Structure 1
Amino acid sequence: MNYTIKNDILNIEISSFGAELQSIKKNNVEYLWQGDEKSWKNRATNIFPFIGRMQEGKYTYKGKAYEMGSHGLARHTDFIVDKAEDNKIIFKMTSNEDTLKNYPFVFDYFITYEIKDNTLFITSKVVNKDSKPMYFGIGGHPGFITPINRSLNFEDYYLEFDNCFNPNNIRVSQIGLVTHKEAFPLKDNKILNLTHSLFDNDALILDNLSKGVTLKSDKDDKSVYVKYENMTYLGIWHTPKENVDFVCIEPWTSLPGRGGIIEDIEKQDSLICLDASKEYENTWSISIN
Structure 2
Amino acid sequence: MSLITIFNKKIKATINSKGAELFSLHDGKREYIWEGNPKFWGKHSPILFPIVGTLKNNSYLYNGESYKLSRHGFARDLEFQVLSKTSDGVRFTLVSDKKTFIDYPFDFVLQIEYQLFDAELKITYQVINNGNKKLPFSIGGHPAFALPKKFEDYSLEFETDETINRYILKDDLISNEVETVILENKKLPLTYSLFQKDAMIIKQMHSKEIELLENNIPFLKFSFADFPNFGIWTKDRAPFICLEPWVGFSDTSESTGNFFEKEGIQVLESKSKKEYSFSITIL
Q: Secondary structure at the match of 1:155?
A: helix
**Aligned partners of 1:53, 1:259: CA distance in 2, in Å?**
11
- Conserved? CA contact 2:80–2:93, under 8 Å: yes
Match of 1:271 in 2: 265
Instruction: Please list the CA deviations of residues 6-52 of structure 1 after superposition, one character each: whole Å capped at 9, or x if unmatched.
Output: 00111100000000011010124111001111210000011111001
Any gaps of 5 or more consecutive residues in structure 1?
Answer: none
Aligned residue-pair number: 281
Whether 1:195 aligns to 2:186 is: no
Aligned to 1:185, the other structure's residue is in SS state strand
Q: Structure 1 residues 77, 260: CA separation in 2 closer, same or farther (over 3 Å shift)?
A: same
Is 1:176 the equivalent of 2:172? yes
Output the CA distance in 2 between the equivalents of 1:251 and 1:189. 22
Q: 2:253: which partner in 1? A: 259
Q: Which residue of 1 aligns with 2:47?
A: 46
Q: Residue 210 of structure 2 contacts residue 221 of structure 2 at CA under 8 Å; is this kept in 1?
A: yes
How much does 1:190 deviate? 2.0
User: How high is the TM-score relative to the length of structure 2?
Assistant: 0.95
Check whether the contact 1:111–1:124 (CA below 8 A) recurs between aligned residues.
Answer: yes
Residues in 2 aligned to 1:96 and 1:189: alpha-carbon distance in whole angstroms: 49
Which residue of 149, 152, 155 corresponds with 2:152? 155
Shift of 1:260: 5.5
Once residues 245 and 183 of structure 1 are traced to their aligned partners in structure 2, the CA distance between those partners, rounded to angstroms, is 25
Moved more, 62-71 or 159-168: 159-168
| 8 Å contact from structure 1 (residues 58, 262) kept in 2 | no
Structure 1 counterpart of 2:212? 215
Alpha-carbon separation, structure 2, partners of 1:41 and 1:214: 25
Deviations 1:133-177 (A, max 9, x none): 11111100000011xxx4x3110110001112222112111x321
Aligned to 2:88: 87
The reply on whether 1:286 has 2:283 as its aligned counterpart is no
One-letter amino acid of the structure 2 residue matched with residue 163 of structure 1: T
> In the TM superposition, what are the counterparts of 1:118-129 in structure 2 within 5 Å?
118-129=119-130
Paired AA for residue 263 in structure 2 = D
Whether 1:250 aligns to 2:244 is yes
Q: CA deviation digits over 1:50-89, x for unaligned, max 9?
A: 0011122111112211000111111111000000001110
Q: C-alpha root-mean-square deviation of aligned residues, in Å?
A: 1.4
Distance across 2 between alignment mates of 1:6 and 1:277: 34
Preserved contact between residue 198 and residue 233 of structure 2 (Cα < 8 Å):
yes
Structure 1: distance between partners of 2:263 and 2:41: 30
CA distance in 1, matches of 2:230, 2:102: 30
How far residue 222 of structure 1 moved from its aligned partner, in angstroms, is 5.6
- Relative to the length of structure 1, the TM-score reads 0.94
Q: CA deviation at 1:257?
A: 1.4
Cα-to-partner distance string for 1:81-101 (whole Å, 9 max, x where unaligned)? 000001110000000001011
Shift of 1:102: 0.5
Distance (Å, rounded) in 1 between the aligned partners of 2:169 and 2:6: 37
Which residues in structure 2 correspond to 1:13-162 (within 5 Å)? 13-146=14-147, 150=148, 152-162=149-159
Query: 1 CA distance for matches of 2:191 and 2:262?
Result: 33
SS, match of residue 99 in structure 1 = helix
Of 161, 164, 181, 2:161 maps to 164
The 1:76–1:262 alpha-carbon spacing in structure 2 relative to 1, beyond 3 Å, is: farther
Partner residue in 1 for 2:220: 224
* Secondary structure at 1:29 match in 2: coil
> How far does residue 182 in structure 1 lie from its aligned partner after superposition?
2.0
Identity of aligned residues (%): 31
Q: Which residue pairs with 1:11 in the alignment?
A: 12
Aligned 8 A contact 2:213 2:219 in 1: yes
Q: 2:130 & 2:267 partners in 1: Cα distance?
A: 13
